[in-house]
Structure 1
Amino acid sequence: MEWMQVAVRTSSEAVEAVANILMETGASGVAIEDAADFANIKAGKYGDHGEIVDPDSLKHIETGALVTAYFPESEQVEKQVPQITTRVLNLNQAGLNPGAAEVIAKPVNDTDWATAWEKYYYPVPVTRFLTVVPDWEKYTPKNNDERVIRLDPGRAFGTGTHPTTKLSLQGLESVIRGGETVIDVGTGSGVLTIGAELLGANVILATDLDDVAVDSAQKNLALNPEIGPVNVIANDLLNGINQTADIIVANILAEIIVPLVPQAWNNLPVNGYFVTSGIIDDKLDLVTNAMKQQGFAIRETLKMGEWYGVIAQRPDPTKE
């Protein structure tokens, strides 16, 4: 089968938003190559984990980021390139730098697509206990505490290597003690759902606005047989959902977190946690102010580069 590859040159801060644009356009998969990720690879950085590859052996872009998507050739995606370019350029209205905003389309075949992922996707420790591993790699945990998240990056964005995903997983790691119920809003590839369950939580619901992401999450869950059954549905944030959870996690853009704040409040019990990421530095106050106005207490702010994660809690009014 022939496919159309659409590659967008953008900035590191805009990769998740650009990936979302491509998925909404109908992409069958999205790959992210970010110069910032490669800049952080150093030999021996992870101690006993070690580095999986020699950083000097990796071919990668030197600046910015490249987000690559694949569409069935029958969809004539070339006609949508101008619209994609306009949407990428308009990201500056949301406070994101679109970078070069260059959109390039070219045809590829199944073989080229299948091998394209493997040139830069490799096992990566993302928290103290969690390592993301592509499903084609043979990998053995380095110690009894390490947990492996297996993903197929060809099914949706959210491979666990982007700073926003790492911050979300670190946030979950800091609040999960075992047995908590979790709702994952904007699940994408399902990486946070898988991570939460491996840390000992019980994910009762995962949602995403995009049907392709729902399918991706379900398939990635199947790659991790130790994960229990999870209800994955297409839904707009928490609209119409009345289930109570101990933890609600969302790795989405700041402007989308704000309307989620009152919904999360209504679905959390006293002492429940709201773990968020996807917040660029100049949007942090927007998110934390919305949380405080709702009544949340900010327990911790996490930072990686220009990205932030926030751990908020619905406080006990008798103790605050």
Structure 2
Amino acid sequence: MKWIELQIQTSNEAVEAVSNILIESGSQGVAIEDRQDFLNNPDDGFGEIWALDEADFSKEGVIIKAYFPDTLFLPELVPNIKLRINELKTFGLDIAPNSVKVDEVAEENWATAWKKYYHPLQVTRFLTVVPSWEEYELQHPDERVIRLDPGLAFGTGTHPTTMLSLQALETYIRGDETILDVGTGSGVLSIASKALGAKHVHAYDLDDVAVKAAVENIELNDYATDIIVKANDLLKGVTIEADIVVANILAEIIIPLIPEAFEVLKPGGLFLTSGIIEDKKELILSEQKKQGFTIIQVQQMKDWCSIVAQKPLAEDE
């Protein structure tokens, strides 16, 4: 089978949104080439993540490679993809340099390309993300392994927004919590929640492709198979009382989620958000405070921020 490779050159802050557009347009997988991964690799603090070649990376922006079967007529899809990417500017996202390139690629080359980019990654003190095809031995007794196939959905643990979310979960999960994961993507945050001791985990995503990918990744981790995954628009219609709501999504989507999260959280419950580009941080903080949340922690990695907010206890309201 032949595949068509569509390359989008965009900004770091638009990576998640553009990746989602490509998946929703029929791509069977995306690979992200960010030069910062090469530059930061030797000093990331976690040891060697993967073997990278600087020649593979553009000096301007990030390259997203999306793969489509040649049975799809790409000339019909590309104009709509370009239109949707351009619409991201209305959300305040910088999409430059916003270039598009199309190549044909053999299936065996695509399979090899995947394995070049993904290797075991220690993302927190206790959590290590391991691609489904790799053998891996525990490095210490308390290490928890998350098996992932990073093919269809964003969120492999390598991006700052995902790492910030995982670090927050590790910090605040104590055990036996009920956790709602909004915009689950690959399911990595839901799986991590179970690995860290959460009792009940419900994962939601608007995209059916992400729901399918999350289910497949959950099945790779025996301890996580009781996670409930559903297609849903944020938390609309959800009445489950939660100890923690976690969301690694764009700032513009976090805003309508804030009142929904406040409603389902138990008094004292935590709202963990990531996917927030630095210049949107104050907006999200303001909206959360306006809703009645107390800000517990703000973390930053590169240009990305995460926020831990708490719903007040009944006597504090």
TM over 0.5: yes
2:249–2:275 CA contact under 8 A, matched in 1:
yes
Are positions 1:40 and 2:37 aligned together? no
Cα RMSD (Å):
1.8
2:277 equivalent in structure 1: 280
Equivalent residue pairs, number: 317
Are positions 1:312 and 2:309 aligned together? yes
2:189 equivalent in structure 1: 192
Give the direction of change, closer, same or farther, for the CA distance of 1:43–1:265 in structure 2 (3 Å limit): closer
Give the direction of change, closer, same or farther, for the CA distance of 1:58–1:202 in structure 2 (3 Å limit): farther
Deviation at 1:74, TM superposition (A): 2.0
Are positions 1:51 and 2:43 aligned together? no
1:7 equivalent in structure 2: 7
Helix, strand or coil: the match of 2:41? coil
TM-score, length-normalised on structure 1?
0.93
Deviation at 1:288, TM superposition (A): 1.1
Are positions 1:289 and 2:281 aligned together? no
| Selected match of 2:260 from 260, 263, 266 | 263
Distance 1:314 1:38 in 2: 39
Deviation at 1:105, TM superposition (A): 2.1
Distance 2:50 2:114 in 1: 15
1:21–1:84 CA contact under 8 A, matched in 2:
yes
Distance 1:191 1:184 in 2: 10
| Selected match of 1:98 from 87, 95, 99 | 95
Distance 2:55 2:167 in 1: 26
1:3–1:72 CA contact under 8 A, matched in 2:
yes
AA of the residue aligned to 1:232: V
Deviation at 1:85, TM superposition (A): 2.1
1:176–1:200 CA contact under 8 A, matched in 2:
yes
Write out aligned runs for 1:70-149 (5 A). Answer: 70-149=67-146
TM-score, length-normalised on structure 2?
0.94
Helix, strand or coil: the match of 1:42? helix
1:184–1:248 CA contact under 8 A, matched in 2:
yes
AA of the residue aligned to 1:35: R
Deviation at 1:65, TM superposition (A): 1.1
1:21 equivalent in structure 2: 21
Helix, strand or coil: the match of 2:229? strand
Distance 1:44 1:240 in 2: 41
AA of the residue aligned to 1:188: G
Which is further off, 89-98 or 305-314? 89-98
Are positions 1:176 and 2:168 aligned together? no
2:33–2:56 CA contact under 8 A, matched in 1:
no
Helix, strand or coil: the match of 1:272? strand
Which is further off, 206-215 or 88-97? 88-97
| Selected match of 1:253 from 250, 265, 280 | 250
Unaligned runs of 5+ in 2: none
2:295 equivalent in structure 1: 298
Distance 1:117 1:180 in 2: 35
AA of the residue aligned to 1:150: R
Give the direction of change, closer, same or farther, for the CA distance of 1:111–1:92 in structure 2 (3 Å limit): same
1:168–1:309 CA contact under 8 A, matched in 2:
yes
Helix, strand or coil: the match of 2:145? strand
Distance 2:144 2:276 in 1: 26
Distance 1:37 1:200 in 2: 31
Deviation at 1:87, TM superposition (A): 2.5
Give the direction of change, closer, same or farther, for the CA distance of 1:114–1:56 in structure 2 (3 Å limit): closer
Helix, strand or coil: the match of 2:154? coil
Indicate the percent of aligned positions where both proteins have the same amino acid: 52
Distance 1:119 1:257 in 2: 33
1:9–1:64 CA contact under 8 A, matched in 2:
yes
Deviation at 1:278, TM superposition (A): 0.4
Distance 1:214 1:119 in 2: 26
Deviation at 1:121, TM superposition (A): 1.4
2:202–2:227 CA contact under 8 A, matched in 1:
yes
Deviation at 1:254, TM superposition (A): 0.4
2:205–2:234 CA contact under 8 A, matched in 1:
yes
Helix, strand or coil: the match of 2:67? strand
Distance 1:63 1:199 in 2: 38
Give the direction of change, closer, same or farther, for the CA distance of 1:53–1:253 in structure 2 (3 Å limit): closer
Which is further off, 247-256 or 225-234? 225-234
